[in-house]
Structure 1
């Protein structure tokens, strides 16, 4: 895989300028809405522009711009969103895809979305940076396999991965300038996956449905034996879901998704030595809490 170096340190503070930052994002903003609103706000803060500057560049009032940047009130139309995006020189195509997904989550129908998009002149085609294209193609398969293990749906997994790639595109300059690009990208992907995953009341992801998708149980003809095996695997996957985060990630990638152990460090952005140690501790924890066979079964690609 092509070496990348992309973020983990906090963003540097914006230059000292007149005015003040917008208020915090409204607490009731949905996850899909945040997916594009947070990068927009980050770009604004990094630019050093004030709300007055953004008002002058966009042509909209300060109250409307402030409302958009907080995510409060009605879901914003594409025209005002586009004006802010262009004022901040943000890639439009990935932002529009994220805006559309959030509009659907806000229960806007297809007619409303289409009419708002048609209010803006047609966009010129955009291509992500070559480094972004190379990176996303290299990690698409393992990222999708990981997402599928938690979401139990090819369509949902592919959408979450595409969403993560669009968010990376929006901040690609900061990504490649960071200390560990692959680690940053993995943490972003993981966060988007876990937002859509089922969880126990204690907050741990619930991996038990994965027991129904293993090659192991699918090869058992006897129905009673098959359900017994599913029960065993459900208990095992429940134990996996309670591992610390890095141990969980490595275990899912290696044993549920069947990813080669040598490829995992480049996927999760950890060194080979640390990844080996994480894997060792995960196996020890599972063997100490749940007696099982060495391989719990690989996720069935179908």
Structure 2
């Protein structure tokens, strides 16, 4: 497959030189992980100003098939057509391939089908990961995973979600770097995905209570009755944490459940030390009002 022509030129900060009609909405049957790569592809097409006819000429696929791919309609798309589209739109291949693979598993495609579809495509060259994105990934992998595991329970699920989050961040890197503060953009992306995947309370809050079973404190208690009582107290405390506003909850989870040093929290959540300290103080005060025994749980 030859390299596609460059996308239409546009003035810096200005709109594309022309705009195609936006694709129809994504179908309801498209899976959650499927949407994680499909939405950035659709956004890139809209931002590029290319029409569907342009995409036909660049990718070599029919308008019908491309329309179905962009809507997530019908069968899960093969890697060959997906690769053709992302190359035509000058989108990094590696993160899309990983997300495409995860979504294929979500669509109940077996490993042999996935390997076969990927082997049908000969990639042009490896993608060059932005240095700043690589640095952010290396710096935040551990705290992001700890935060995700507090809500998702298993390390495997947490690592999968964090890996997908960094791939989505790569696909939206231009948007992330144009935001006022890239680490804040990245944290909000992680938080939204963690909370979407977490178990929910009837009122829609994430359910942190199961985290009480995995704390080091209760694991050190040998007496079963005492341990169960301790778990119950911790579960109530963790449930109270989710009543806090989002940023206060994040800081409390990182500090109380993940064991992150207070000085490291501002850099993780992308807020200034002064704002993070103020939020932490307000969170502690709110928890003392909601649960007078808070101090004994921290």
Alignment TM-score, normalising by the size of structure 2? 0.91
Is the aligned partner of 1:86 residue 2:87?
Answer: yes
- Report how many aligned residue pairs link the two structures: 286
Report runs of 4+ in structure 1 exceeding 6 Å deviation.
none
Structure 2 residue aligned with 1:224: 225
Is the aligned partner of 1:112 residue 2:99?
Answer: no
Once residues 193 and 61 of structure 2 are traced to their aligned partners in structure 1, the CA distance between those partners, rounded to angstroms, is 32
Once residues 296 and 14 of structure 2 are traced to their aligned partners in structure 1, the CA distance between those partners, rounded to angstroms, is 48
Structure 1 13/206 Cα, relative in aligned 2: closer, same or farther at 3 Å? farther
Structure 2 residue aligned with 1:294: 295
CA shift digits 1:206-254 (9 cap, x unpaired): 0001101112111211110110000011111111122221111111011
Structure 2 residue aligned with 1:241: 242
Structure 1 residue aligned with 2:260: 259
Please state how far the C-alpha of 1:132 moved relative to its aligned partner: 1.1
Once residues 19 and 154 of structure 2 are traced to their aligned partners in structure 1, the CA distance between those partners, rounded to angstroms, is 49
CA shift digits 1:118-175 (9 cap, x unpaired): 2211563334111111111111111111011111111111111111111111122332
Describe the SS at the equivalent of 1:262: helix
Whether the aligned pair in 2 keeps the contact of 1:149 and 1:256 (CA below 8 Å) is yes
Whether the aligned pair in 1 keeps the contact of 2:19 and 2:46 (CA below 8 Å) is no
Alignment TM-score, normalising by the size of structure 1? 0.90
Alignment of structure 1 residues 1-302 onto 2, 5 Å: 14-15=15-16, 17=18, 19-122=20-123, 124-294=125-295, 296=297
CA shift digits 1:89-122 (9 cap, x unpaired): 1111110000000000011111111121122115
Please state how far the C-alpha of 1:178 moved relative to its aligned partner: 2.2
Once residues 31 and 296 of structure 1 are traced to their aligned partners in structure 2, the CA distance between those partners, rounded to angstroms, is 36
Whether the aligned pair in 1 keeps the contact of 2:165 and 2:189 (CA below 8 Å) is yes
CA shift digits 1:256-289 (9 cap, x unpaired): 1111111111111112222112112211221111
Structure 1 92/80 Cα, relative in aligned 2: closer, same or farther at 3 Å? same
Please state how far the C-alpha of 1:15 moved relative to its aligned partner: 2.8
Please state how far the C-alpha of 1:29 moved relative to its aligned partner: 2.0
Whether the aligned pair in 2 keeps the contact of 1:256 and 1:296 (CA below 8 Å) is no
C-alpha RMSD of matched pairs (Å)? 1.6
Structure 2 residue aligned with 1:8: none
Once residues 147 and 140 of structure 1 are traced to their aligned partners in structure 2, the CA distance between those partners, rounded to angstroms, is 10
Bigger relative contact order (CA 8 A; separation at least 6): 1
Mark the runs of 5 or more structure 1 residues left unpaired by the alignment.
1-11, 298-302
Structure 1 284/28 Cα, relative in aligned 2: closer, same or farther at 3 Å? farther
Once residues 273 and 122 of structure 1 are traced to their aligned partners in structure 2, the CA distance between those partners, rounded to angstroms, is 47
Mark the runs of 5 or more structure 2 residues left unpaired by the alignment.
1-12
